[in-house]
């Protein structure tokens, strides 16, 4: 009974209601509930007055108009939520094929004439997320033609277009696809790339091998299959220990010394 009295008197005597219930947190919650119920009751009077003002009209019309008026706050909240979701929706990037002025991305300047890519940030603005030049640029010890942020919310992951095959963390990454970089400690390191072909230790990884850093080791997927005949003859196999593979998934430790084949297709 004390709690229900506190609920009923919460709006008029909130301090007394809190004291009666013996718990300030509970009293505050009950006061908010009381305010909400009284507000709902007060708003219910509005559609009732609208219903009464339409006296002489059809009952169905009066009820429909009253219901619409009563649900207006709900429709307003739904509309506001839908508008907010619309503004935050993913949008296609805006591409400028040839810039008219120099632009800077991650402290790297791209001259006029560079290709630029902008992403909308959901607040009627845009942010430069990608830039590609026609000549080499120096970035984090690499020769690149362009770079792109992997996410508009962070600069910790990038995709860069190398101007030529280059060693990154011991791996000879090619130019077939963009190279993934991630910020580790104080510099950018390799996240993933497609190798141009190289020998690491006693293993020769053919061109097209995919390498990815999984946080503890390097994961590689390699294949020498260029056609059915080549697969049947097992030309240029990938040799790991005593295994000879035409396709293999492997792990290499961070020092590049220990190579473990996790799955593969053996030469026959």
**Does residue 79 sit in the same domain as residue 7?**
yes
Q: What is the mean pLDDT of the chain?
A: 83
**Last residue of one domain, picked from the residues 38, 53, 87:** 87
Confidence (pTM)? 0.65
Provide the domain count of the chain.
3
pLDDT at residue number 230: 57
**Last residue of one domain, picked from the residues 87, 102, 135:** 87
**Does residue 103 sit in the same domain as residue 52?**
no
Comparing 152 with 169, the larger pLDDT belongs to 169
**Does residue 223 sit in the same domain as residue 265?**
yes
CB atoms within 10 A of CB 262: 10
**Does residue 71 sit in the same domain as residue 112?**
no
Q: Which two tokens stand for residue 40?
A: 């709902």
**77-134 pLDDT, tens digit each:** 888 877 666 656 556 778 899 999 999 999 999 999 999 999 876 665 788 999 999 9
- In a domain? residue 73: yes
**Last residue of one domain, picked from the residues 70, 87, 104:** 87
**Does residue 73 sit in the same domain as residue 96?**
no
| Residue 213 C-beta-side C-alpha neighbours within 13 Å | 21
pLDDT at residue number 9: 47
- In a domain? residue 245: yes
- In a domain? residue 129: yes
Domain range for 70 is 2-87
Comparing 3 with 257, the larger pLDDT belongs to 257
- In a domain? residue 99: yes
**140-162 pLDDT, tens digit each:** 999 999 999 988 778 899 999 99
pLDDT band at 70 (very low <50, low <70, confident <90, very high): confident
Task: Classify residue 174 by burial, with Cβ atoms within 10 Å: 0-12, 13-18, 19+.
Answer: buried
**Does residue 81 sit in the same domain as residue 115?**
no
**Does residue 207 sit in the same domain as residue 130?**
no
**Does residue 96 sit in the same domain as residue 61?**
no
**200-240 pLDDT, tens digit each:** 888 999 999 999 998 889 999 999 887 666 556 677 889 99
CA distances in angstroms from 77 to 9, 123, 244, listed in the order given: 29, 20, 65
CB atoms within 10 A of CB 45: 9
**Does residue 163 sit in the same domain as residue 203?**
no
**Does residue 263 sit in the same domain as residue 207?**
yes
d(CA 161, CA 146): 5
Q: Compute the average pLDDT of residues 5-11.
A: 46
**Does residue 259 sit in the same domain as residue 207?**
yes
pLDDT band at 37 (very low <50, low <70, confident <90, very high): confident
- In a domain? residue 173: no
pLDDT band at 178 (very low <50, low <70, confident <90, very high): very high
- In a domain? residue 27: yes
- In a domain? residue 257: yes
Interacting residues of 19 by C-beta distance below 8 A, sequence separation 6+: 27
Cα distance from N-terminal residue to C-terminal residue, the chain: 85
- In a domain? residue 181: no
């Amino acid at each position: 009974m004390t709690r229900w009295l506190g609920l009923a008197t919460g709006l008029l005597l909130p301090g007394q209601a809190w004291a009666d219930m013996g718990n300030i947190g509970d009293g505050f919650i009950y006061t908010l509930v009381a305010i909400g119920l009284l507000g709902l009751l007060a708003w219910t009077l509005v559609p009732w007055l609208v219903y009464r003002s339409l006296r002489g009209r059809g009952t169905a019309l009066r009820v429909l108009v009253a219901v619409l008026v009563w649900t207006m706050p709900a429709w307003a909240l739904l509309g506001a939520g839908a508008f907010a979701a619309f503004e935050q929706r993913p949008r296609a990037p805006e591409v400028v094929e040839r810039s008219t002025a120099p632009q800077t991305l991650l402290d790297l300047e791209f001259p006029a004439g560079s290709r630029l890519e902008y992403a909308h940030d959901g607040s009627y603005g845009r942010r430069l997320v990608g830039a590609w030049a026609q000549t080499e640029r120096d970035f984090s010890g690499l020769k690149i033609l362009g770079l792109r942020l992997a996410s508009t919310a962070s600069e910790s992951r990038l995709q860069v277009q190398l101007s030529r095959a280059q060693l990154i963390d011991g791996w000879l990454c090619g130019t077939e696809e963009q190279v993934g970089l991630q910020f580790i400690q104080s510099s950018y390191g390799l996240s993933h790339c497609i190798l141009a072909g190289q020998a690491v230790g006693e293993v020769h990884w053919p061109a097209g091998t995919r390498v990815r850093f999984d946080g503890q080791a390097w994961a590689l997927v390699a294949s020498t299959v260029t056609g059915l005949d080549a697969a049947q003859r097992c030309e240029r196999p990938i040799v790991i220990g005593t295994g000879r593979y035409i396709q293999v998934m492997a792990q290499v430790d961070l020092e590049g010394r220990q190579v473990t084949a996790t799955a593969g297709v053996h030469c026959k």
